[in-house]
């Protein structure tokens, strides 16, 4: 068993954290008051009781809170503030590298487009990075970050001005073309802003309901990302079976998989597969061999899949047993009431993780990050992290 003090002190990553799911409750209340957004309660406890609960009975109830967080994140000041606070919330628990993901199109409206949204988020993270670097002790790894832009498998057209414009251009029967076109517009903008404005946009993501919205409909957007040397991570195997993970890898060139919980769920393999167990085992071996990293979000999975029953039943156990490249993430710090440290507390206790397993899981996060720099710079940074990890480990064991 590892102490909370040690887990907090060790350098960590969060490769899967959604900006709009990770606000401070106090900030949400303040922003809503300033922007005239109605909330179910004006107190933090009231919001915990009505919206951001410890447990949820379904994915829809889990997602309900995003209507409120999204409503207050419609201007540069709010986006910059939330990004800045998220950086420091991570830093205050020892997280040294974070990849913040969000769907820019959900924050866009007339005169406030891709560049304004992404620049505002970047400004908040950059300010926190500069503050931390100014106070960083010699040999201590500085805070670094990357931006991941999320396309959506489906959406409510009335939520965003961008989507409303697309709806006017395409008929209802072309709904999948609508989603694919929105994704293509997004990735083109992301690559342009990366290349022309120097924004640290490190990857392209696909989020949203997997069932009924297969990866193949987004192949064009991910082909563009691939051709533009923009890395790819895809939400897959969260609420659907292993075939969704395979589609993410084969159709969308995924470098990493978000969640991947159902990698070993033979009962969720479709009727076209004759041997579900063999299919899952073969896919797991393929992922292991290619070192395709899985972004594991234990608390979030327990909340959106109540049938799991408990941490000890989570598929991360099998990932550890097979030595897969997997690292722990929060998904949504607010909606899931969690931190990176808490995710490691849960995992180390439930799976009796060894020192080596803990170290590997943490270091995988740094090694398999989409670091916003050259490969040589990334290697130097990872080496600095490993040296600092060993220093912290030795210091806590000697105390």
Phi, psi of 95 (to 5 degrees): -75, 125
| Residues 294 and 257 sit within 8 Å (Cβ to Cβ) | yes
H runs (alpha helix) in 12-99:
25-35, 44-50, 59-63, 66-72, 76-91
The residues, ordered by sequence, that sit 6+ positions from 339 with a Cβ below 8 Å of its Cβ are 89, 93, 330, 333
Q: Give the neighbor-by-neighbor strand order of the sheet with 293-296.
A: 12-18, 95-102, 144-152, 201-207, 231-236, 256-259, 293-296, 326-328
CA dihedral 32, 340, 123, 181 (to 10 degrees): -80
For tokens 């620049």, the residue is: 119
Q: In 3D, which of 149, 164, 203 has the Cα closest to residue 19?
A: 149
First to last CA, the chain: 16
| Residues 78 and 72 sit within 8 Å (Cβ to Cβ) | yes
Catalytic-residue membership of 34: no
| Catalytic residue chosen out of the listed positions 210, 238, 243, 295 | 238
Token pair belonging to 361: 């899981």
Catalytic residues: 238
């Amino acid at each position: 068993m590892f102490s909370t003090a040690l887990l907090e002190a060790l350098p960590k990553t969060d490769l899967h954290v959604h900006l709009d799911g990770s606000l401070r409750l106090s900030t949400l209340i303040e922003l809503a008051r300033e922007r005239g957004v109605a909330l179910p309660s004006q107190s933090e406890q009231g919001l915990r009781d009505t919206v951001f609960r410890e447990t949820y009975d379904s994915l829809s109830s889990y997602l309900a809170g995003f209507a409120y967080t999204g409503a207050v994140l419609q201007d540069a000041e709010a986006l910059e503030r939330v990004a800045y606070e998220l950086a420091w919330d991570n830093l205050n628990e020892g997280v040294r590298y974070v990849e913040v993901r969000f769907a820019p199109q959900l924050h866009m409206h007339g005169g406030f487009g891709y560049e304004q949204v992404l620049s505002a988020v970047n400004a908040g993270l950059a300010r926190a990075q500069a503050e931390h670097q100014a106070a960083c002790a010699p040999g201590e790894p500085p805070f670094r970050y990357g931006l991941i832009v999320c396309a959506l498998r489906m959406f409510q057209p009335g939520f965003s001005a961008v989507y409303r414009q697309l709806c006017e251009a395409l008929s209802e029967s072309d709904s999948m073309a609508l989603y694919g076109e929105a994704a293509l517009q997004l990735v083109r903008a992301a690559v342009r802003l990366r290349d022309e404005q120097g924004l640290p946009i490190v990857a392209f993501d696909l989020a949203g309901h997997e069932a009924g919205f297969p990866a193949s409909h987004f192949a064009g957007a991910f082909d563009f990302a691939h051709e533009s040397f923009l890395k790819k991570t895809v939400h897959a195997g969260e609420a659907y079976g292993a075939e969704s993970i395979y589609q993410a890898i084969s159709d969308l060139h995924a470098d990493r998989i978000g969640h991947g919980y159902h990698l070993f769920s033979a009962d969720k393999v479709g009727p076209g597969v004759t041997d579900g167990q063999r299919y899952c085992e073969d896919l797991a071996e393929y992922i292991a061999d290619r070192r395709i990293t899985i972004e594991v979000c234990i608390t979030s999975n327990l909340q959106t899949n109540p049938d799991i029953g408990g941490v000890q039943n989570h598929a991360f156990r099998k990932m550890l047993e097979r030595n897969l490249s997997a690292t722990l993430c929060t998904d949504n710090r607010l909606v899931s009431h969690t931190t990176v440290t808490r995710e490691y507390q849960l995992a180390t206790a439930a799976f009796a993780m060894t020192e080596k397993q803990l170290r590997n899981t943490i270091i995988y996060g740094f090694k398999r990050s989409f670091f916003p720099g050259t490969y040589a710079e990334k290697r130097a940074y990872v080496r600095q992290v490993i040296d600092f990890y060993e220093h912290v480990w030795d210091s806590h064991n000697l105390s």
